[in-house]
Structure 1
Amino acid sequence: MADSPVVDTPWTRTLDYDYPDMTTVDDDAAWAPARQAALAAQRERVAEIAGNPEPATVENMLHAYALSGAELDRLTRAFGVAAAADGTEARQQVRAEAAPQIAAHTDWITLHPGLFSRFRQLQERIGAGEVTATPEQQWFLEQLILKARVAGAGLDGSGQAELKELNQQLAGLETAYSQLQVREATEAAVLVKSAQELAGLSESRIASARAAAEAAGHASGYLLTLTMPVQQGLLGSLENRQTRRALHTASVTRGSLADDLGRTTRQIGAQIAVLRAKKAQLLGYENFLESVLPLRTAPSRRAVESMLGKLAAGAAERAATEAERIAEHLGFTPEPWDLSYGIEQVRKRLPAGSGAGEITVAEGLRRIFDAAHRAYGITVVEREDLPGYVPGARSFEVFDGPAGEPGTGLGLFLLDLYTRPTKSGGAWMNGFSVPSTLAGTKAVVTNNLNVAAPAPGQEPVLTQGEQKTLFHEFGHALHALLAQAEFPQLSGTAVPRDNVEFPSQVNEVFQELYRNPTPPGAVPSENALWGKGCSTAEHVAAVVIDLAWHTLSPEQAEAAAQDPAGFEAQVLADWGLDLPLVPPRYHGGFFKHIFASAGYAAGYYSYLWAEVLAAHSSEWFRVVLDDEAALASRGAHFRTELLARGNTRDPLDSFRAALGTDPDPQHLMRSLGLQN
């Protein structure tokens, strides 16, 4: 194979584990030339692979293809990490320019007729016994062929041209949505005048709000920045009802700010839904959901909606009961901005209620690392000598067993905890590289949260919700760090979208190592179930909004786009989830999961689908939480059969291999207090 053009870039100058030194990146000059070189390199290699006259083999097809985009993969991973954590104007411009280029490039590869033909030839040769392939290699080949077919490899020339145009339009709109959503969240931050208006918050939280105001250029006052979900974490503690109202209103009314073209995120999201419906129809599917289901673990739309119907009915009924109890406790009819506060006030009166307790960040990190050591045998050590990929990020080295023993290094875990105006909302995991024996790489993964930064001299703290998020995101990190795969495309979290949240949710059970655990098989306590009706209702409400947008024909989507808010309101009413006190967790104005990219489009149900798997697995682990030896034994088995396997085989097969049975949804229903 001929040499391909490669440009010397900052991310080729690396630290341990090939961790790129992002402090050397010049945003004004680095990304564009490197991207062009990486795109050209992969195009040249793919053309050679597709045109190879030799019979198709694992080496000249699967291995060659898997490594063909190494430079582009490294570049896009590095840029994705940096732009999500610190989305400066320069990086936003780079993203806007890059999105349609990469979309077109991906289409060119996925729809390449020669490449598709060669993959099918290899499949036929394996089937005829002419080529030997391992189970992982056969699985990889099957996934490549399936993705190509779903992406439109069977379309004729005019159909493929139309598809490529749709994909480029979608890439531009998704980028516009992402950028406007970040901008609106920053501009919608609530400035309050006095500390008295923040009564109920800890001194650390108040100091953080003051520091945020100063950082935003306010000479006085306290700034309450917005997080992604509609229910802002501070609402559970704020005693001043007017402050709660202002913060909640700022959160729920997102989607009204217009960009330079006069479009709101609600309007952009609706247009994205229209184009996705057209794309699905072009590919021969009834709607967008049907076009993505072949690459997911859920078997059908009916299966997903059946699960949602049970959850919606039970959650709405339980939420109504919780609303009555909140009203009784508060002594007035609550409004949506009173919901979180009322839930926490009632929780404090429940047996063993702990309210919205906080712990220090240091203690939170100790817990997630200690739990991973007890369950999976790993050791995590901070590396203060390594620079952060953004200012304030911390670096840790992860070892398989005791720290420092030769050959036991698994990779790096990088943590960016604190919010900043240029940071994407919510919490997420991504990384610079994944484990691959073919590529010779190990994991360099990141966790990103949006915790309020402490004021100078103050010790940073985590709310209960943030503690849970830390365990959750570290579960994603473990999925990558503990992966064992030949192909980087199958490694770790590269599982179907409705499976990827499963291991991270399982990791949440290990919080119980540091507080009284729920007995195995028992119905959770009143305290543990309190608020589940409202939280489940708001979650399911967001899920049905996602499904509604993505189960429309193009004509139906065009009609819905005329009044996006009205369309969503009708959807909630149809599902019995138009609850005055409980707005959906996300609506079209700030639904990054489904409109900033296609990742969770028609797939926000994935969290609940994964919860079925996670609730079952959590019960399996809960049995041994008080037995260190048994916990280590089960952890080792779970690590080998599930976490390490990633997408190297059907993830449902990995579940069965790990737990010895099919997943049982009754575990989830019981954990939510929604059993019949």
Structure 2
Amino acid sequence: MTDNPFLVRSTLPAALPPFADIRDDHYEPAFEIGMREQREAVARIEADPETPTFANTLEALELSGPVLERVTAAFFTVASAHATPFVRDLEERVAPRLAAHGDAIRLSSALFARVDAVWRDRGAVDAEQQRLVERTRTEMLLAGAALDDAAKEELRGLNERLSALATRFDAALVADTNDLAVHVTDAAELDGLAADTVSAAREAASARGLDGWLLTLVLPTGQPALADLVSPATRGRLMDASRARGTRGGDHDTRAILLETVRLRARRARLLGFRDHAALVAVDETAGSTEAVTALLDRLVPAAVRNARREQEELGGDVAAADWAFLAEARRREEYDVDLAALRPWFEAERVLQDGVFAAAGRLYGVTFTERADLVGYHPDVRVFAVADERGPLGLYLLDLYTRDEKRGGAWMNSLVDRASLTGEAQAVVINNLNVPKPDAGTPTLLTLDSVETLFHEFGHALHGLFATVRYPKLAGTNVPRDFVEFPSQVNEMWVLHPAVLPGYARHVETGEPLPDGVADRLRATGTYGQGFATTEYLAATVLDQAWHRLTVEEADAVVDVAAFEAGALAAAGFDVPAVPPRYASTYFAHVFAGGYSAAYYAYIWSEVLDADTVAWFDEHGGLTRENGDRFRRFVLGRGNAEDPIGAYRAFRGRDADIAPLLARRGLG
């Protein structure tokens, strides 16, 4: 394996993985070598006869796995965005091995004893080193390092099985999402869709060897086309397909997987001394407890549901879930003289990226973006941009915009390389993935306003990863609590309709003309329009996540019917508007059953308290200025997890966050 690119640091700019040189047969050997080398390095730390110090324990641990870090970052980026059958098979095989490998380190009594010794003498090190000691010790305790040998052995088995189940859930969901795409052979069934959307549907059908058009599914329950399709029958087919995911029996059914996942998570939580999985998760988030999460939800849910009921009455009362978006858009056009579908020609993807997303970041933070056509990603659709500011290079930004059958649904950011001076990485490599339908050749990519917001949101994560400047990899980039990580990305959404940003990118794709007079003001005026629906569908998914993960072992074992449990949980929480289904039903809730948001989907609304309060701060201090951007970068984006995130927020804002701006934004005041 002397030619295996993972065995040495990449020589490309910012240590970008050399995807052009990476072959499928490189991954598994690199995993094996990486795990072996890290095990050997940890064994040396454990056996060190010297008194435990920060350098010989914590720093040595941070430096222990470079090969594994490189292959893991590259492979799981590909597994999310271009999961070929080979990649799927390898992921299923390697995930339990990686879980076992991680447990061997986190559950090591000898290693924990050394970390604990450094922690007891933590006053001898500086603030960032103290943070690393505290985070490492806390993570090891919550992982089970203090358990006896029998409990650790049981825990290892649970973790391996849970890792395998998450991989299976994701694979089954992707496959079923692809299978349930709605095939249309009569053009009349697509009435109302924009020309580029029809073009993308034709391209999707052609890619699968089908005649006609194929409406592929995005991850949430509500599908974008529902707002525009004139045909109630087509809307019904699309909604039925969306909600059927994971429920049809066979290899793609996710119900048994999620039930076993819930049961094993409950067992693991009890083993670790917690009542349930949600309690285990919350203790290491900024929320601190499930009681704090409950207090926020109890304040928001009743008001959101009331608003949803009011909106339903305004739409005619007897509204089906499949028809809500279409009727709501018709009312938006009538009430506000705003037709979101008709505005898509003003949201051409390249102009949004260059003159919107990049331009706003340039004005705020002094950063520039230069496309590097000589650098390649894992797929031809991936674009690479060099990012720099006045002080020099910051790293690379990768964008993978389009949907593919091999890509999981939704949108996300992840890091390929973290900036950390200990490892010599002075630049970051971050990537944004979206799932925008790709039109056929020669047709411009026109975004919906929702997709524009998503791009700005994910780019907020990217900035967090690019700007964070720390010494230690564990504290780098977006490695912050789940209920804080969404805060910087949500803040970046404020620039979508900002008067200093929108005119720069909202130009007609053919004429270059700006938005017609008054449209921008009317768009901003619709800020609270539809928030009853939007908040209710989000909170319903949040409540489902909490309900599944607040089950004790005995309660989890008693659940046998996913649909019945889901209905009961929603009813108990006061969700009595059937026309507003949860943003994610349990069977396709990838965030919590295949991702890292189990018992933490509340993070979006929790973070939005900080976000809305920060938007208010920007408004109070002059908006889009370099001075404001530099302050936000210095106190928040640039800190990573090198200090307590809430402490960083207080330093930025001068006080704790006020919930009032969130209530006003969501129409919940």
TM-score range, shorter chain: over 0.9
Task: Within 5 Å, give how 1:618-633 maps onto structure 2.
Answer: 618-624=615-621, 631-633=625-627
Quote the offset at 1:34 in angstroms.
0.8
Cα 1:143/1:163, change in 2 over 3 Å: same
Q: Where does the alignment leave 5 or more consecutive residues of structure 1 unmatched?
A: 1-5, 402-406
The whole-number CA distance in structure 2 between the counterparts of 1:7 and 1:99 is 25
Give the whole-Å Cα distance in 2 for the aligned partners of 1:335 and 1:293: 36
Decide whether the 8 Å contact of 1:211 with 1:455 is kept in 2: yes
Q: Deviations over 1:112-135 (max 9, x none)?
A: 1111000111122334xxxx3110
Match of 2:589 among 585, 588, 591: 591
- CA drift at 1:452: 0.2
Aligned to 1:674: 668
Report the CA distance between 1:512 and its aligned residue: 2.6
Report how many residues are paired: 644
Give the alignment partner of residue 91 of structure 2, picking from 65, 82, 95: 95
Corresponding position: 1:634 with 2:634: no
**Are 1:267 and 2:253 counterparts?**
no
- 1:404 is aligned to none
1:582 pairs with one of 570, 580, 583 = 580
- Structure 2 equivalent of residue 541 of structure 1: 540
Q: What residue number does 2:141 align with?
A: 149
Is 1:23 matched up with 2:20? yes
Letter in 2 for 1:582: V
Counterpart in the other structure of 1:107 = 103
TM superposition shift of 1:417: 0.3
Q: Give CA deviations for 1:383-418 in whole Å, capped at 9, x if unaligned.
A: 1121122121111110113xxxxx611000000000
What is the CA–CA distance in structure 2 between the aligned matches of 1:625 and 1:510, rounded to whole Å?
13
| Residues 327, 334 of structure 1: 8 Å contact kept | yes
Contact 2:340/2:448, CA 8 A, preserved across alignment: no
Counterpart position of 1:393: 382
Q: Is the 8 A contact 1:7 1:34 kept in 2?
A: no
Q: Provide the C-alpha distance between the structure 1 equivalents of 2:248 and 2:101, rounded to a whole number of angstroms.
A: 32
Tell me the distance in 1 between the aligned counterparts of 2:185 and 2:374.
Answer: 41
Which residue pairs with 1:224 in the alignment? 215
**Conserved 8 A contact 1:195-1:206:** no
| Residue identity opposite 2:139 in structure 1 | K
Root-mean-square deviation (Å): 1.8
Q: TM-score, normalised by structure 2?
A: 0.94
| Cα distance change of structure 1 residues 393 and 625 upon mapping to structure 2, 3 Å threshold | farther
* Aligned residue type for 2:357: I
**Is the 1:345–1:355 Cα contact (8 Å) retained in structure 2?**
no
* Cα shift at 1:74: 1.2
1:202-213 paired onto structure 2 within 5 Å: 202-213=194-205
Instruction: Identify the residue that residue 38 of structure 2 maps to in structure 1.
Output: 42
Write the letter of the residue equivalent to 2:598: A
* Per-residue CA distance 1:284-303 (angstroms, 9 max, x = gap): 11111111222110022111
Aligned counterpart, 2:320: 335
Give 1:195 deviation, angstroms.
2.3
- Is 2:278 the partner of 1:286? no
SS in 2 for 1:296: coil
Q: Structure 1 residues 266, 14: closer, same or farther in 2, change over 3 A?
A: farther
Aligned amino acid, residue 54 of structure 2: V
Letter of the 1:271 partner, please give it: E
Structure 2 residue aligned with 1:614: 611
Cross-structure match for 2:172: 180
Q: Distance in 1 between matches of 2:617 and 2:657?
A: 11
1:635-669 C-alpha deviation (Å, 9 max, x unpaired): 10110111000111100001011111101111111
Question: 1:121-178 deviations in whole A, cap 9, x for unaligned?
Answer: 1122334xxxx31101101101111111111111101000000011111111111101
With over 3 angstroms needed to count, the CA separation of the structure-2 counterparts of 1:86 and 1:258, relative to structure 1, is farther
| 8 A Cα contact 1:111 1:152, kept in partner | yes
What is the aligned partner in structure 1 of residue 570 from structure 2? 572
Contact preservation (8 Å) 2:329, 2:339:
no
Q: CA deviation at 1:455?
A: 0.9
Matching residue's letter, 1:499: F
Paired residue for 2:157, among 154, 165, 177? 165
- After TM superposition, give the deviation of residue 340 of structure 1 in Å: 1.1
Matched, 1:190 2:182: yes
Query: Following superposition of structure 1 onto structure 2, how do residues 50-69 of structure 1 map, counting pairs within 5 Å?
Result: 50-69=46-65
Q: Is the 8 A contact 1:150 1:292 kept in 2?
A: no
1:207-260 CA-to-partner distances (Å, cap 9, x unmatched) read 110000000110x11001000000011111111111111111100111124454
Residue 237 (1) aligns with residue 228 (2) = yes
- Give the letter for the 2:526 counterpart: N
Match 2:348 to one of 332, 351, 360: 360
345-354 or 638-647, which deviates more: 345-354
8 A Cα contact 1:7 1:37, kept in partner: no
Change (3 A) 1:71 1:259: farther
Cα shift at 1:431: 2.3
How far, CA to CA, are the matches of 2:3 and 2:653 in structure 1?
Answer: 47
> How do 1:244-263 and structure 2 match up within 5 A?
244-260=235-251
Q: How many angstroms apart in 1 are the aligned matches of 2:527 and 2:173?
A: 33
Distance 1:343 1:212 in 2: 28
CA distance in 2: counterparts of 1:74 and 1:213, whole angstroms: 36
After the TM superposition, list the runs of 4 or more consecutive aligned residues in structure 1 that deviate by more than 3 angstroms. Answer: 11-14, 257-260, 514-517, 623-626
Q: Is the 8 A contact 2:20 2:378 kept in 1?
A: yes
- AA paired with 2:149? G
Contact 1:352/1:527 (8 A) holds in 2: no
Relative distance call for 1:54 and 1:47 in structure 2 (3 A) is same
> Could you say what secondary structure the match of 1:503 adopts?
helix
Question: How many angstroms apart in 2 are the aligned matches of 1:431 and 1:299?
Answer: 26
Q: Matches of 1:314 and 1:571 in 2, distance apart?
A: 18
CA deviation after TM superposition for structure 1 residue 63, in Å? 1.2
Mean CA deviation greater in 569-578 or 349-358: 349-358
Work out the CA distance in 2 between the residues paired with 1:610 and 1:300.
15
Shift of 1:111: 0.6
Cα separation, partners in 2 of 1:622 and 1:198, compared to 1, 3 Å = farther
Identity rate, percent: 41
Structure 1 counterpart SS, 2:316 = helix
C-alpha separation between the residues in 2 aligned to 1:310 and 1:144? 34
Q: Secondary structure at the match of 1:30?
A: helix
The answer as to whether partners of 2:531 and 2:667 remain within 8 angstroms in 1 is: yes
- What letter corresponds to residue 268 of structure 1 in structure 2? I
Superposition map of 1:261-660 within 5 A: 264-327=253-316, 333-351=318-336, 353-356=338-341, 357-358=343-344, 359-366=347-354, 367-401=356-390, 408-441=392-425, 442-513=427-498, 514-515=501-502, 527-560=526-559, 562-597=560-595, 599-624=596-621, 631-660=625-654
- Counterpart CA distance in 2 for 1:623 and 1:419 is 39
Scaled by the length of structure 1, what TM-score is found? 0.93
Cα contact 2:263–2:556 (8 A) shared by 1: yes
CA pair 168-574 structure 1, distance change in 2 beyond 3 A: same
Letter in 2 for 1:361: A
Deviation for aligned residue 1:536: 0.4
